[in-house]
A and B are shown apart, each in its own frame.
Chain A
């Protein structure tokens, strides 16, 4: 990767800023998903797919990925500048989250030349949507026990079983699939293998699942003698657990290689402060109430703490006591905070917390209640908060396994 030319970087950043100012549509006329897990209608899907494609074509997604795979071949700093501009202008999320943040970095790291050539560009352009097939109806937190079977037959594997909570499963062209190739392995983890699997083939069926908000966003995926090509195997047979854990590190940002942009947006303290200024109690803005001020300060202090923890991760002497501590804690810290912040915001709306999305009297079109309900996607998905507690307790504090 070439040296950063500060002048070129500044020009690039200014262009990106102007581009997002020009191209972000503040009102597409319907509610956009806040996260990649909330894509519930074709209208939302089509819009976001086009948006990602447009951002990529303009050079503001994958700017630091290699040119031969559709990237911009620039230093990381350029993509960071583009992402910053995207955020500043409240650009919608990047749709193809699993492809961008899980599959892509994985292939760049350990994929074959053929894999990279075949998949990477389509990930960036949103031509090829990806999903993740890890969880099963009977094995969620206990992922290592996954039982979906993959049996080798010649140049193919025959897959049988079911995956569930598959985000964007109904739109996906490919899945990263964790399946059991050796049911007799002495350790449950050693029987698993990791595949890049096509979704639009005979024997693969997706059934949409309705979420607690009443919307759609994920599916149950059924495999019935589905034949997937053997060259989709990543790592050796039996190494699937290791590969899957690696993808989780990309997803949590503990390993680099992501193409930039963001796949989740959150309402922040500013939005909640603004809400507190607008909501009235006894003729006064809620914001004037000292009890509310106290609670708001708690949130602001915690939000700031999490931001500072990200910064402190880069200061080695300030992390030496438990070097992995901050990295392994960040998912728990941030997702639980968002959930509690949204929960608090709902209470600010007073009696109108009784309304929901769709009623004209709902405060801010009901986004707070919906945001609160959706916030559980992050405290459950990607390893629940309880599992995060176990991970931190065992791997950071050194406590015995439960």
Chain B
């Protein structure tokens, strides 16, 4: 158990952290977040355009395909800052779709799609199914046929599907899990149903595959499917961890601010240790989670270590955000029980993330198999 990951921080990461900090702060004040919750699209296309112009959508895409040629380690600070401002939009799903293509696509598919993703075409993944299994290889949706594949089955939690130009879905094909590209133009009416999800800043859809057919050239390289799924799983967890960590910081700052302004019994409530000490626990747990995040980012591409560090990081982030957000509601008193208080935004997001791509118990189980 020598190498569980370590901290490293590149100049590119530092630059992106700095730029993303101010960008997300300015573009996503909480009033804007709340306005976008009410908006059906759910994100601001103008901001999305700006991100594309900043090159953020191509950070982890090689230069040969029109990207910047860095890796997910450099995406992490950007997503962390988005999480901190509860910023909505298809950034993460598009980045993950790019990762799916890189890990599992044919040369022709990469050449055709990656440059478009880097330019700002939103994309997403359709992986989850109704049985609630986080094991991405346990797929029941199918793709059958020869030159033309008929798809069937249901996919849940397909984020940003209504905005995406491309969906990459996992299906069972020829006796094994596979990935298939679906252009959203080709989706029949009624294929998408908007889901009501706990984190209202998100746009998530159920996708019915029945009745959709695609040419077999849309299958990703079947020989790489398992490796691609495992890469997607870890990449999704890494970026979720980044979002959660940023979100935890914001949640703590928000609560501390209240503890420093609200008075009861003639004193600022932050002077009461019943509030101060758990706030410190939340803070310390946050710092631990952030250390794990930047270890996972740095170690991500190392065989074995990357997986260990990422699973640990997701587990630590879950603990930190869940606790901070739970206490945030309580420490705001009656106001904490209202829709107007931001505490529920954090708590809802915490539940969303805990439930996606493996919860803490599940990751610990995987870690135990690897380490114990």
Contact = CB atoms under 8 A, between A and B. Distances in A.
Contacts of A312: 7, 290-291, 294
Q: Which residue among A300, A321, A326, A332 has the maximum number of chain B CB atoms within 10 Å of its CB?
A: A300
Nearest to B312: A301
A290 B271 CA distance: 42
A133 B290 CA distance: 38
Which label, helix, strand, loop or mixed, suits the secondary structure of the A interface? helix
Contacts of B316: 301, 305
A400 B271 contact: yes
B283 A396 contact: yes
A302 B313 CA distance: 10
B147 interface: no
Given A273-B372, A317-B18, A329-B284, A400 B294 contact: no
Interface in B105-163: none
Interface residues of A, number: 41
Interface in A280-310: 287, 290, 293-294, 296-298, 300-302, 304-306, 308-309
B9 A308 contact: no
A305 B249 contact: no
A154 B5 CA distance: 61
A59 interface: no
A7 interface: no
A311 B281 CA distance: 20
Interface string B283-308: 11001111110110000000000000
B372 A293 contact: yes
B368 A293 contact: yes
A117 interface: no
B239 interface: no
Interface in A319-355: 321, 325-326, 329, 332-333
A393 interface: yes
Contact of A386 (B277, B279, B283): B277
B276 interface: yes
Interface in B227-256: 249, 252, 256
B364 interface: yes
B14 interface: yes
A311 B6 contact: yes
Interface string B303-347: 000000000100110000000000000000000000000000000
Interface centre among A269, A317, A397, by most B CB within 10 Å? Answer: A397
Given A392-B283, A402-B276, A302 B372 contact: no
A242 interface: no
Given A386-B277, A400-B267, A392 B284 contact: yes
Nearest to B271: A400
B4 interface: yes
A304 B271 contact: no
A204 B284 CA distance: 42
A330 B202 CA distance: 36
A308 B291 contact: yes
A402 B372 contact: no
Contacts of A390: 273, 276
Nearest to B368: A293
A296 B315 CA distance: 13
Contacts of A315: 7, 9, 294
A401 interface: yes
A273 B280 CA distance: 30
Contact of B271 (A294, A389, A401): A401
Given A293-B364, A392-B280, A399-B279, A305 B289 contact: yes
Interface string B1-38: 10011110100001001100000000000000000000
Contact of A317 (B5, B17, B256, B290): B17
Contacts of A399: 256, 259-260, 268, 270-271, 276, 279
A332 B282 CA distance: 13
A318 interface: yes
Nearest to A294: B364
Contacts of A321: 249
Contacts of B276: 389-390, 393, 397, 399, 402
B34 to A, nearest CB: 24
B83 to A, nearest CB: 14
Given A293-B368, A333-B284, A398 B260 contact: yes
Contacts of B259: 399
A311 B7 contact: yes
Contacts of B284: 329, 332-333, 392
Nearest to A290: B365
Nearest to A270: B1
A317 B271 CA distance: 30
Interface string A358-402: 000000000000000000000000000010011011001111111
B70 interface: no
B287 A329 contact: yes
Contact of A325 (B287, B294, B361): B287
Nearest to A305: B288
Contacts of A318: 7, 9, 290, 294
Contact of B364 (A273, A287, A297, A305): A297
B367 interface: yes
A44 B126 CA distance: 65
A393 B364 contact: no
A312 B252 CA distance: 20
Contacts of A401: 271
B371 interface: yes
Contacts of B290: 312, 318
Given A329-B284, A393-B277, 18 more contacts: A300-B4, A300-B367, A301-B367, A304-B5, A304-B312, A308-B6, A308-B294, A312-B294, A317-B9, A318-B290, A321-B249, A389-B277, A390-B273, A390-B276, A396-B283, A397-B279, A399-B271, A402-B276
23 contacts: A290-B368, A293-B372, A296-B372, A297-B367, A297-B372, A300-B4, A301-B315, A301-B367, A304-B292, A305-B289, A306-B288, A312-B7, A315-B294, A317-B18, A329-B283, A329-B287, A332-B280, A333-B288, A392-B283, A392-B284, A393-B279, A399-B276, A400-B267
Interface of B: 1, 4-7, 9, 14, 17-18, 249, 252, 256, 259-260, 267-268, 270-273, 276-277, 279-281, 283-284, 287-292, 294-295, 312, 315-316, 361, 364-365, 367-368, 371-372
Q: What 10 A-B pairs have minimum CB-CB distances, sorted nearest first? A: A305-B288, A308-B291, A399-B270, A293-B368, A297-B364, A311-B7, A393-B276, A400-B271, A389-B277, A317-B14
